[in-house]
Structure 1
Amino acid sequence: MLALTVIVVIGACVLVSGIVGNRFGIAPPVLMLAAGVLVGFVPRLRTVNLPPDTVLLVFLPALLYWESLNASLRAIWRSLRGVVLMSTLLVLFSAGMVAVVAHAFGVPWGPAWILGGALAPTDATAVAALGRVLPRRVMNLLAAESLINDGTALVVYGVAVSVTTGSEHFSTVHVTWLVARSYLGGAAAGIAVAFVGGKLRARLQDPLLENVAILLIPFSAFLLAEAIQASGVLAVVACGLIMGQLGPKVGTPAVRLLSQGFWTIGTYVLNGSLFVLIGLQSQSAVRNLTSFDLARALSAVAAVCGVLIAARFAFQFTVILGIRAVDRRPSQRARRVTHGFRVITGLAGFRGAVSLAAALAVPNTLDNGLPLPDRDVIVFVTAGVIAALMLQAFALPPVVRWADLPEDTVIESERRMANRTAAEEAMEALPDIAATLGTAPEIADMARREYEKRLRLNRAGDPDDDGDDLDDDAAERLREFDEQYRELRLALLGAKRATLLRLRDERRIDDAVLRQIQAKLDIEEVRLSRTQLVD
């Protein structure tokens, strides 16, 4: 009964937090975290603990895969140097600074570096959930950073745990090997699973079975990477980025619509549950704290939060600006951002699931059987820092207004261009398509006129232009030619989809633009083809 009670309570917390957050404009994850803390006061629920394997093996693969699928590969490529630097140098710098602060509070160097490794990476799911008010370009950068930096941080964490417990020795060669195995092995595992997953999806015809295959992909990537002692997190990210490019090509409209609905609600529930469990774990961390008194532990939380924020700001305004001073190429000048942009990214360094899972996974004992020093402090400080940094979500809206970044119209302009280009190319192909299908001239002529009408609306800046081809009146007039009309319409939708994929592959439109327009085309194609989403 306890397990069922926990499920119902967590679900209720997610639901109520979402309702209250939407009603009062508060980030729901902050409310979910607070709800978890409050639930921890219920005596029956005080014994509930969050196993680290649950986060690593259940939550993370699904959440990271969904974020990777929806990432913009073009945006990652454009900001690749900054993303790489933030995912390596910033992670190492943050881990080192946290270790110094923890040691200053009396934590031995080994556990201090474990804490630094656990808290160094930002969290993709936390950024996505808490940063919805951020401009698109900021979100793209933060999402790319948080997807990649886990690999570096977990290597630091793993080395620190191994050296502290006495199971490994520290040397430059050994650490270099661990980093190479983590990154290269994880990427290779992700690529291999994506290759097999793409082949499998291309062969499956049943939307339900194909979505079962999609569900297995991230967990398979994580499992394969862990089996070769590489980074499961990087494997899932690499696999998700590749499948994000392959998905629109190998999937069918019915599969995409079913998958979108399932993953949207599934990841929302998983993400919300994770925030509630983090709050609940904070209660447990307080009760299990014995090495420090509460005041000293809270001071350590505040100091670590301060050094993480300071390290992030220092990196933003020194390393990146140093690169700007050295690299004077026109392409580099085009990528420059304002100080306001850097302040926003500095504040949005949220921590989350990876940090908590790492802290909970710290061994209780050393290899010689003695207790690992200050393990309770590591768990308490990690949970406290995750909770405290979430409060920055309240500061983001006024900071975004203060930064006064230029209005981002890229997605809208690219969407209009993509709709126009797809319609133009479909209209050009219409005579050949009609001839191949044997379509009656009246139907082909009416389709051509409707395309011309849509193109006029697009060029006039009609905000309601969604790429839909034929209006209801035209459909009514063509009812007597229903089968020919349906076949022509499906063929034209296929031509438009091919144009959109080409524009995406040429990097003329963002992945987000492709997904927006393709979703409308998918709905129309499912309706016309009379496909059932689930038999």
Structure 2
Amino acid sequence: MLGLELVVLLGIAVLAGSALGDRLRIAPQVVLMAMGVLIGLIPALRKVELPSEVVLLLFLPVLLAWESLNTSLREIRRHLTDVALAATVLVIASAASVACVAHALGIAWGPAWVLGAAVAPTDATAVNVVARLLPRRDITLLRAESLLNDGTALVVYGIAVGVTVGTEDVTAPHVGWLFVLGYGGGALIGFVAGTVVQWFRARMAQADALRGQVLLLLAPFSGYLVAERIDASGVVAVVVCGLMLSQSGPRTVRAEVRVQAQNFWLVATYLLNGSLFVLIGVELDFSIRTMGNDEMPRAIGTGFAVAGTLVAVRFAYYFGVAAFFRIARRGSARASGTTYSGRRLTVSALSGFRGAISLAAVLGVPSHLDSGEAFPSRQLIVFVTGVVIVVTMAQALILPGVVRWARIPRDGSVAREEWLAESAALESALAALPDLAGRLETAPAIREAIERSHRLQADAVAQRCATIPDDPEESALHPRRLTDDHTALSLALLAERRAVIVRLRDTGDIDDTVLRRLQGRLDTEELHLLGHVPVGE
């Protein structure tokens, strides 16, 4: 029964923690970790330890797949240099710096490098803490960095663990091969998995929406497992597969499947992501209890020292790289679309949250060396990693204020692109309407009604597009205000229509089956108005 009790407690903690975080206007993830510590105090759960396989095989594939499906491939390509540098140079610099600090504080070199590699990568799911605070470009870069830097960190981690245990020899060719296998092998498997899923999905989803959803759910798990079997990066495989499906989905998947997928993945990732941060708190509480009282001062000091090192390295990296490119490009940064504002860099430097990957890595550290001796400082490494996750996530408490201080310009590009696409689609539909109506032998009255409706929509979209200024702050009639007014009126009309059909059901004029069908259509319209549509589907 203990497992069922824990599942129920996790669900309650996710609901309560999220609601409390919203009410207090702080990152829900911080509250969820605190609730995990409280859950760990329950006597019946004091011996609960989170296996690394649970994080690696249950949480990560789903969460990484969702982040990949909702990441802009165009923005990744546009800023590929920035993403690649952050995913390699920053990770290696962070791991090396933490290893040096940990060794200076009394941890042997092998375990120190294990700790450094475990806490070096940022967490893609934790980036959601600042998703509402930053423009699209900044969030995309943070997500792309978090999705890709895991491959580098896990290669370094594997080498450090192997050397410490006694199963690895560090040579330049061997290290190079591990990086090639990790990234290249993972990308290849992700590509193959994405291709296979695309082929089956294009056929299966048209016949059965539910089977299409099961296939989509199996995709990240399959890619991850196959990659890990050949010692490639399962993380890279999931990311590549997810990015491929995000590009092919709009062409091959029906609307019904997209709506189902959106609803399912929103609920699944909400529960998994929330549960993960609660379990981090539980694991931190377990680590505290398993360590002696005399070890705690050193462990806490090491944890804060490592967290401070990661923040300092991240600041040094961002400002150092910005200065390098500013000098190398000699003022051409504006033309390249890259902004090197000191305040903006400060926000990015403070957004290096740690989470699932770090937790899974340290929990996967073997208990014994090849010689049979206990792995040195293992419990200390687990505790320090927990402290680092808590401290880096706590940065979310000050980030709203830092973002306000940074005065990052409002991002109007999303609204401009959205209205441009909507306008082009409507105009193309109007141009094709006569030919389509002729082929379908549509009645003239119906054709005229549809044409009139589309003309009104096209005129409304054109009017909104005309109000978008180059600088969104310069317009008194901001496009966001126009969108809000349009959405509010449309939602009010939908509510009136919904009330009518419910009243007809209550009076017995229509059946519940009819009500459900009509309500489904109205719900779809409402989701569209609210912008709750699948991004990567």
Separation in structure 1 between the aligned mates of residue 105 and residue 195 of structure 2, nearest angstrom: 49
Aligned-pair CA distance for 1:253: 0.6
RMSD: 2.2
Partner of 1:28: 28
Does the 8 A contact of 2:326 with 2:333 survive in 1? no
Amino acid aligned to 1:440: A
Aligned-pair CA distance for 1:459: 2.0
Separation in structure 2 between the aligned mates of residue 134 and residue 48 of structure 1, nearest angstrom: 38
Change in 2 beyond 3 A, CA 1:412/1:330? same
Partner of 1:460: 463
Aligned-pair CA distance for 1:78: 1.4
Partner of 2:202: 202
| Residue 303 (1) aligns with residue 310 (2) | no
Aligned-pair CA distance for 1:441: 1.7
Separation in structure 2 between the aligned mates of residue 435 and residue 226 of structure 1, nearest angstrom: 55
Partner of 2:138: 138
Partner of 1:438: 441
Separation in structure 1 between the aligned mates of residue 211 and residue 410 of structure 2, nearest angstrom: 43
Amino acid aligned to 2:320: T
Partner of 2:315: 313
TM-score (ref. length: structure 1): 0.86
Q: 1:394 aligns with which of 390, 394, 397?
A: 397
| Residue 41 (1) aligns with residue 41 (2) | yes
Partner of 2:88: 88
Q: 2:348 aligns with which of 329, 345, 361?
A: 345
Can you give the 5+ residue segments of structure 1 that lack an aligned partner in the other structure?
476-512, 523-535
Aligned-pair CA distance for 1:74: 1.1
Separation in structure 1 between the aligned mates of residue 53 and residue 35 of structure 2, nearest angstrom: 23
Could you give the per-residue CA deviations for residues 162-215 of structure 1, whole angstroms, max 9, x where no partner exists? 011110101111000000000000000000000000001011111111101111
SS in 2 for 1:318: helix
* Sequence identity (%): 47
Amino acid aligned to 1:133: L
1:255-404 to structure 2, matched below 5 A, reads 255-290=257-292, 293-328=295-330, 329=332, 333-404=336-407
Change in 2 beyond 3 A, CA 1:6/1:325? same
Partner of 1:408: 411
Does the 8 A contact of 1:111 with 1:164 survive in 2? yes
Partner of 1:224: 226
Aligned-pair CA distance for 1:137: 2.1
Aligned-pair CA distance for 1:102: 0.3
SS in 2 for 1:408: coil
Could you give the per-residue CA deviations for residues 333-388 of structure 1, whole angstroms, max 9, x where no partner exists? 43223111100010000000000000010011110111111111110100111011
Aligned-pair CA distance for 1:323: 2.1
Can you give the 5+ residue segments of structure 2 that lack an aligned partner in the other structure?
465-481, 498-527
Separation in structure 1 between the aligned mates of residue 329 and residue 341 of structure 2, nearest angstrom: 17
| Residue 77 (1) aligns with residue 77 (2) | yes
Separation in structure 2 between the aligned mates of residue 153 and residue 431 of structure 1, nearest angstrom: 58
Could you give the per-residue CA deviations for residues 141-165 of structure 1, whole angstroms, max 9, x where no partner exists? 1001000000000000000000111
Partner of 1:235: 237
Does the 8 A contact of 1:122 with 1:146 survive in 2? yes
Partner of 1:503: none
SS in 2 for 1:284: helix
Separation in structure 1 between the aligned mates of residue 128 and residue 436 of structure 2, nearest angstrom: 43
Partner of 2:520: none
Amino acid aligned to 1:437: L
Separation in structure 2 between the aligned mates of residue 250 and residue 227 of structure 1, nearest angstrom: 30
Partner of 2:154: 154
Single out whichever of 126-135 and 385-394 deviates more from structure 2.
Answer: 126-135
Change in 2 beyond 3 A, CA 1:456/1:340? same
Change in 2 beyond 3 A, CA 1:250/1:333? closer
Partner of 2:254: 252
Change in 2 beyond 3 A, CA 1:4/1:274? same
Partner of 2:98: 98
Separation in structure 2 between the aligned mates of residue 386 and residue 24 of structure 1, nearest angstrom: 21
Instruction: Count residues with an aligned counterpart.
Output: 479
Partner of 1:451: 454
Single out whichever of 133-142 and 155-164 deviates more from structure 2.
Answer: 133-142
Partner of 2:432: 429
Does the 8 A contact of 2:224 with 2:238 survive in 1? yes
Separation in structure 2 between the aligned mates of residue 332 and residue 73 of structure 1, nearest angstrom: 21
Separation in structure 2 between the aligned mates of residue 30 and residue 130 of structure 1, nearest angstrom: 13
Does the 8 A contact of 2:186 with 2:227 survive in 1? yes
Does the 8 A contact of 1:454 with 1:465 survive in 2? no
Aligned-pair CA distance for 1:63: 0.3
Does the 8 A contact of 1:33 with 1:276 survive in 2? yes
Amino acid aligned to 1:224: V
Aligned-pair CA distance for 1:320: 3.0
Amino acid aligned to 1:364: S
Change in 2 beyond 3 A, CA 1:291/1:144? farther
SS in 2 for 1:460: helix
Change in 2 beyond 3 A, CA 1:425/1:300? same
Amino acid aligned to 2:35: A
Does the 8 A contact of 1:290 with 1:376 survive in 2? no
